[in-house]
Amino acid sequence: VSAADAGDPAVAVDVAVFTVHARALQTLLVRVQRGAFAGRWALPGGRVQADETLERAARRLLAVQTGVRGIYLEQLYTFGHPERDPHGRVVSVAYFALIAHRGPTPADVAWCPAARLPPLAYDHRAVVRTALARLRAKLGYTNLVYTLLPPSFTLGELQEMYEAIRGRRLDRRNFRKKILSLGLLVRAAGVRRGPHRPAALYAFRRRRPMMIDIL
Amino acid sequence: VSAADAGDPAVAVDVAVFTVHARALQTLLVRVQRGAFAGRWALPGGRVQADETLERAARRLLAVQTGVRGIYLEQLYTFGHPERDPHGRVVSVAYFALIAHRGPTPADVAWCPAARLPPLAYDHRAVVRTALARLRAKLGYTNLVYTLLPPSFTLGELQEMYEAIRGRRLDRRNFRKKILSLGLLVRAAGVRRGPHRPAALYAFRRRRPMMIDIL
DNA sequence: TCAAAAGTGTTTCGGATACACCCATGC
DNA sequence: GCATGGGTGTATCCGAAACACTTTTGA
């Protein structure tokens, strides 16, 4: 009923960051430096400081450990089983985050296909599983894909995002009809040139999280 | 990186319990006994003990404070703003729960219409708002209504649940068609007699949480 | 006999799905 | 000239929504 004492669990945050690259969902992992899990891969995260909010802690630890900052972040679930951390009682508030893919990462940081994760420290496998379920569900009723894409992109690229995350192919004609009918996109200048016919570029009319109705 | 120390936030749980009664959503509140909020209403909850899971803490505190036990419970969201509790840093894992309505409550415990709550302690108003949003969303893709109903009930009573929670009327014929087509219900013995034509009784084929697709 | 809830079918509309062909480019 | 992805239109199906009258009971 009053402030903390030494009997309290420690409070931590963990962040499951996803991107889509090479037509596959990828998860951001860091190598554990110390303790019982030294050498294993784990989600970025750590202890919450006394005067910061949970989300701020998540952003700080993510930036420090991986250099990633300024991305979409939302609270996922709180994992608090008494034995989840062999070092002592730690209650961890997990966040899930999305980012457009970018280049290489620092040492001891890696993008790993979400379908083939190595053994992870703590209960982070369960955290990733929970985050993936949330991600798939949320794509169906929000415009969150925009967080995975650069400012302009082709409809083919957009469709690849949905296919990578939902794990199945979509009909191109129906997809274009549906997406364009939502009015979320505007034509961007220029075209994407590749080894084949150039594709029109599009951009999101608004780059902020919104409820919508798709798929 | 190791176990807790005195700098850690306290860890608590709060439980937002809902029922439907008198065609309205009701929230279970307890009166705060001590501290800065003494006399105010609040959600049941309190500190997590060193060796119990978060869910177990929620069930324990709910039973001790209100006598309610053995109900549907799910984790909702974790509230951790540094100033949410004037007594010190407390990170609170909120749960949301559903129960069929039953008789009177102990002293200093009350069911209160969710639409007209009194001023609540801490950030519990935000907790209730979050829980209501979750409840409304979840009714749309699960069979969780069963938690609000007695073992047998009429289709009219079932429809009242949906109407109370969603806050709008539904067409009776379409509702019956849809609900019966899902195959979740079986006829129960007997009829409900009232001041008017008797109604057939139904029961849920399975009383456990399931994903489905309704409304 | 009246008030109040129970019970029942049909029509309409819109969104989802399935499906095939031509186009523009780089190699 | 060919391989590769870009771009477009139509027919069908299914579930959702709208909608009115008869039935049974207790008072």
Q: Is B52 on the interface with A (CB under 8 A)?
A: yes
pLDDT in tens, A36-93: 999 999 999 999 999 999 999 999 999 999 999 999 999 999 999 999 999 999 999 9
CA of residue A66 to C1' of nucleotide C6, angstroms: 64
Give residue A1's pLDDT.
40
Q: Is the pLDDT of residue B103 over 90?
A: no
Give residue A213's pLDDT.
83
Where residue A104 falls among pLDDT bands split at 50, 70, 90?
confident
CB contact under 8 A, A89 and B9: no
Q: Is B77 on the interface with A (CB under 8 A)?
A: yes
Give residue A8's pLDDT.
83
Q: Is A77 on the interface with B (CB under 8 A)?
A: yes
Rounded Cα–Cα distance for residues A45 and B10 (Å): 19
Q: Is the CB of B172 under 7 A from strand D?
A: yes
pLDDT in tens, B202-213: 999 999 999 988
Rounded Cα–Cα distance for residues A111 and A41 (Å): 11
Q: Is the pLDDT of residue A98 over 50?
A: yes
CA of residue B137 to C1' of nucleotide C13, angstroms: 26
With beta carbons less than 8 A apart as the criterion, state whether B54 and A80 touch.
yes
Give residue A6's pLDDT.
62
Rounded to 5 degrees, what are φ and ψ at B84?
A: -70, -20
Give residue B200's pLDDT.
98
Q: Which residue of chain A is at minimal alpha-carbon distance from B47?
A: A1
Give residue B1's pLDDT.
40
Residue B173: which nucleotide is closest by CA–C1'?
Answer: C8
Q: Is the CB of A176 under 7 A from strand D?
A: yes
Q: Is the pLDDT of residue B124 over 70?
A: yes
Closest partner residue to B34 (CB to CB) among A1, A50, A81 is A1
Tell me what the pLDDT averaged over chain A comes to.
Answer: 94
State how beta strands A10-21 and A45-47 pair.
antiparallel
* Average pLDDT rounded to a whole number, residues B93-99: 98
pLDDT in tens, B54-68: 999 999 999 999 999
Evaluated on CA atoms A32, A35, A73, B74, the torsion sign reads positive
Give residue A4's pLDDT.
56
Chain A window 136-175, residues with Cβ within 7 A of nucleic strand D: 154-156, 172-174
Give burial (CB, 10 Å; 0-12/13-18/19+) of B17: buried
Least confident of A97-106, A119-128, B83-92: A97-106
Where residue A103 falls among pLDDT bands split at 50, 70, 90?
confident
Half-sphere exposure of A123 (CA within 13 A, CB side): 20
* Average pLDDT rounded to a whole number, residues B29-44: 97
Tell me what the pLDDT averaged over chain B comes to.
Answer: 94
Give residue B4's pLDDT.
56
Rounded Cα–Cα distance for residues A176 and A99 (Å): 23
Rounded Cα–Cα distance for residues A120 and A161 (Å): 25
Q: Is the pLDDT of residue B122 over 90?
A: yes
Q: Is the pLDDT of residue A135 over 80?
A: yes
Which letter does DSSP use for residue A130 in this model? H
Q: Is B86 on the interface with A (CB under 8 A)?
A: no
Q: Is the pLDDT of residue B2 over 50?
A: no
Q: Is the pLDDT of residue B3 over 80?
A: no
Give residue A2's pLDDT.
46
Give residue A204's pLDDT.
97
pLDDT in tens, B157-193: 999 999 999 999 999 999 999 999 999 999 999 999 9
Which residues on chain A are in Cβ contact (under 8 Å) with B6? 4-6
* Average pLDDT rounded to a whole number, residues A122-129: 98
